Structure formats: structure tokens, C-alpha cells
Structure 1
Amino acid sequence: MADSTGRTALRTRGREATTALGGSRPAGTRHPLIAVAMVLPLVFLLAVVFGGWEAVVTQASSVVGMLGR
């Protein structure tokens, strides 16, 4: 029981530190559009460097299919 109490205290301190540093969301809750905006420049760079436009289009359509749109 003491072990779980210690872990809970560590998580609470971690959340407090995150809030103090300006973060309002817990880890792992980034908005999907923000994640896409972060990844797009890298996708375009890799597509230009490796000439894989078809692969980019295929992957994008797969992701859209997984999202159910």
C-alpha cells in the first residue's frame, strides 16, 4: 500500500510542476490538429528529399480511413 501512495505523490508533484511551468494539459492529451500541424513540415521535407509523393498520399489516405472519415 505504501508503494502506491508514493507513486501517487510523485504523479501529483509532476502535475504541479507541469502546471507551474505553464502546461495546462496532462501528458498525452495534445489536440489532433496540433499534432498534424507539427508533423506536416517533416512529411513535406521527407517527401521532397526522397521523392515519395505517392507514399505520402497513400499514408494520408490510410490515416483518413482509420479516422473513419
Structure 2
Amino acid sequence: MAFTAGRTYLRSQARKPAGPRHPLVAAAMVLPLATLLVVLFGGWDSVVTQASSVGVMLGR
């Protein structure tokens, strides 16, 4: 059997640790996909309906 534990350890040490992303970076990553899904599936009406019902539940 080949000894692979050493190589795996070296590969894991070579990666940069992933820290928390800035909220604007996260939004920039998500918004294009969300927009595409809304356009493809016609989800704008459901988003408005959900937001409206949440507003009613909160008493606004």
C-alpha cells in the first residue's frame, strides 16, 4: 500500500485558511444567481407575497 498521509498533510497545509467574507462580497456572489432564478422561474410574485405576509405577521 502507498503511504499517502504525508502528501495529504502537505496539501492541507498549502491551502490558505478561509476567513469570513465581507457581507458585500457575499451579496455580490449571490445576487446574480438569485436574479437569474427569479427571471427563469417567475418568482418575483412569490417573493412579494412572502414579504407581504411577513410584514402582516410583524404588524406592519
TM-score (normalised: structure 2): 0.48
Compare relative contact order (CA 8 Å, sep 6+) and give the higher one, 1 or 2.
1
User: Which has more radius of gyration?
Assistant: 2
